[in-house]
Amino acid sequence: MPNEPTTRNKIRTTYKKTNGKPAAKQGTNLNGYEKINLLIVMAIFMDKKFFKNIGITPRFFGSRIKGSLYQKPGDFIVEEILKKNEICCISKENVRIKENIPTKYIHATLVKKNISTFDACSIFARENSLDYSSEVSFCGLKDTNGLTAQRICFRNNGKIKKPGFNSFFLKDFSFSDKKLAVGEHLGNRFTIKITKLKTKRKKAGELLQKFSEISAKGFPNFYGLQRFGIRQNNHKLGKLLLQKKYSDFIFNFLTYTKNESSNTIKLRKKLEKKFGNWKACLKIIGNNAELKDEKELIENLSHCKSEIDAIKKIKTSGFFVHGYSSFLFNLALSSLINERHENVKIEKIGKNTKFDELNKKLFFPILKKEGITLSDFNHNEKKFCVNNHLRNTLFYPKNFKYAIKNNKINLQFDLEKGEYASILLDFLVETDSEKLN
């Protein structure tokens, strides 16, 4: 998918290396930003097991810069690059619709802070008498946590009265009879700050220069952690859908917990105890914003004729199979990259996939171990089908720039759509945090 979906859009999780105890319980002082944005401090070591869960097995790091990432929204800026190399800027200007030209659609730049693309578009649609699922579209998802800008499209109903909200606003309006579709952008420009620098300035400069030179050789084009959601289980849920194990999907979707707030963990345990009693489950969730997708599923289960009907009505249901296909790609790339470091194209499996010899060699052992066949991806439910395509095994950041000032490093680089800044940062920065959305 373009950029990865997240199922828990209201939480940003940061992992901190500690002595095996949650950092917050060791006296860590959470700043205001972290408290406001429900930052969860968990005890987990960034070792091979953590990445192995999403199919990434090789972890080949040399010397890296030591510092902090993702401390506040302005530390992670994403600006969408459009087809004519136009940049969607985060600046607050041109925020009014000056006139309404009678076209089918209005295009606008959505600038958001610490909110998912899904949530921002949903709120905008609700407040402007639009149907979110059918009348709003965008080129790609952008990171939940950070400051981002992207083009979106919505039906011109002549009633757009509220383009600005607390956590996002719209600007640069234009009128068109063409609807924006997923993947119509070129990529994204990232502006990232490394703060609380622990590496000496001279050494940091040397590492940055070396990194700039290495980037010309390419980095493994893995799907990053954000692709798999806060709970890091999008792929496991996708596999259950392909296997048509809908009851198992529902149980895991509602009750499985990992990397979530203590309150959400408690609620999921209660849901497990009352599982099947949907009226009681709705009462348990109440108006909890972190479990809005779960609430939607339970409401669907209460009135839909079948489990599959209830599942496919969830807004995020189409992304779980994408997650599983991404997991299989990561496994195949891990296998390949251990043998050779070169840019070739391998499959992101979907419906009607046909393998060439290289992909047969890579994927057949993986699929056999997973107990999945290619025909499983030709699901009879359209919403659980994903398109197959070839994906490069390496990616090359463009326009890489850096500046060291005081105790900070400012980075800027461009990536093509579907490439992950978090993967690149893994090779450059040794930090106590990982970005999950």
Given this model, what pLDDT does residue 437 score? Answer: 55
Q: Round to whole Å and give the CA distance between 214 and 216.
A: 5
Q: Which of 292, 228, 279, 265 shows the shortest CA–CA distance to 55? A: 228
Asked if pLDDT for residue 204 goes beyond 90, the answer is: yes
**β-pairing, 345-348 with 168-176?**
unpaired
What is the distance between the alpha carbons of residues 30 and 27, in angstroms, rounded to a whole number? 9
Looking at the chain, the whole-number percentage of residues with pLDDT higher than 70 is: 86
User: Which range (91-105, 271-285, 293-307, 406-420) has the least confidence?
Assistant: 91-105
- pLDDT score recorded for residue 65: 92
Task: Quote the pLDDT of residue 294.
Answer: 94
Label residue 364 left, alpha or beta by phi (over 0 means left) and psi (-120 to 50 means alpha): alpha
Q: Which residues, at least 6 apart from 73, have a Cβ–Cβ distance to it below 8 Å?
A: 33, 113, 114, 145, 146, 147
Least confident of 68-77, 156-165, 199-208, 366-375: 156-165
Most confidently modeled range among 58-72, 88-102, 359-373, 382-396: 359-373
> Over the stretch 105-119, which tens digit does the pLDDT of each residue have?
999 999 999 998 988
What is the average pLDDT value for the chain, to the nearest integer? 84
Question: 94 falls in which pLDDT band (50, 70, 90)?
Answer: confident
DSSP single-letter state for residue 105:
E
The DSSP 8-state label assigned to residue 83 in this structure reads T
pLDDT tens digits, 20-56: 333 333 333 333 333 223 222 222 334 456 788 899 8
pLDDT at 435: 54
Q: Residue 435 in contact with residue 145, Cβ under 8 Å?
A: yes
Of residues 279 and 101, more confidence is placed in 279
Residue 61 confidence class, pLDDT cut points 50, 70, 90: low
Select from 194, 180, 172, 192 the least CA-distant residue to 91: 172
pLDDT greater than 80 at residue 215 = yes
Tally of helices (H runs) and strands (E runs) in the chain: 14, 16
Whole-number pLDDT of residue 334: 92
Q: At residue 157, does pLDDT exceed 80?
A: yes
**All domains of the chain, ordered by start, with CATH?**
13-75+200-225+396-430 (no CATH), 83-185 (3.30.70.3160)
User: How far, CA to CA in Å, does 17 sit from each of 23, 26, 74, 407, 433?
Assistant: 8, 11, 24, 21, 8
Q: What average pLDDT does this structure show over 374-378?
A: 94
Rounded Cα distance, 295 and 301, in Å: 10
Q: Which residue has the higher pLDDT, 3 or 27?
A: 3
pLDDT at 30: 32
Rounded to whole angstroms, the Cα distance separating 434 from 163 reads 32
Q: Which residues pair with 192 in a beta bridge?
A: 76, 411
Tokens read off for 22: 């949650």
Rounded distance between C-alpha atoms, residue 343 and residue 366, angstroms: 21
Cα Rg for the chain, rounded, in angstroms? 22
Structure confidence at residue 418 (pLDDT): 87
| C-alpha span between 217 and 215 (Å, rounded) | 5
Q: What is the mean pLDDT of residues 387-406?
A: 93
pTM, to two decimals? 0.80
Tokens describing residue 11: 């939480």
H-run or E-run covering 208:
helix 201-214
- Please spell the DSSP secondary structure of 356-378, one letter per residue: -HHHHHHHHHHHHHHT--GGGGS
Cα 304 from Cα 288, distance rounded (Å): 23
Give the C-alpha distances (Å, rounded to integers) separating 3 from 90, 109, 138, 249, 413.
18, 17, 11, 23, 16
Taking 50 as the threshold, does the pLDDT of residue 88 lie above it?
Answer: yes
Q: Helix H segments across 150-261?
A: 201-214, 234-242, 246-255
Give the residue-averaged pLDDT of 292-320.
Answer: 91
Helix or strand holding residue 281 (H, E): helix 278-285
Mean per-residue pLDDT, 74-82: 95
State the pLDDT confidence band at 60, using cuts at 50, 70 and 90. low
Is the four-CA dihedral 363, 365, 366, 371 of positive or negative sign? positive
| Degrees, nearest 5: CA angle 389-344-228 | 50
Place of tokens 């965008």: 138
Q: What angle do CA 340, 50, 351 make, to 5 degrees?
A: 65
Q: Is 66 helix (H, G, I), strand (E, B) or coil?
A: strand
β partners of residue 110: 150, 170
Confidence band of 58 (pLDDT split at 50, 70, 90): low
Backbone torsions φ then ψ of 63, nearest 5 degrees: -70, 140
At 21 the pLDDT is 36
Which tens digit of pLDDT belongs to each residue from 245-300? 999 999 999 999 998 889 999 999 999 999 999 999 999 999 888 898 999 999 99
Please check whether residue 225 is in contact with residue 423, taking contact to mean a CB–CB distance below 8 angstroms. Answer: no
Neighbours of 259 (CB within 10 A): 20
Q: Which burial class, exposed, middle or buried, applies to 84 when counting CB atoms under 10 A from its CB (0-12, 13-18, 19+)?
A: exposed
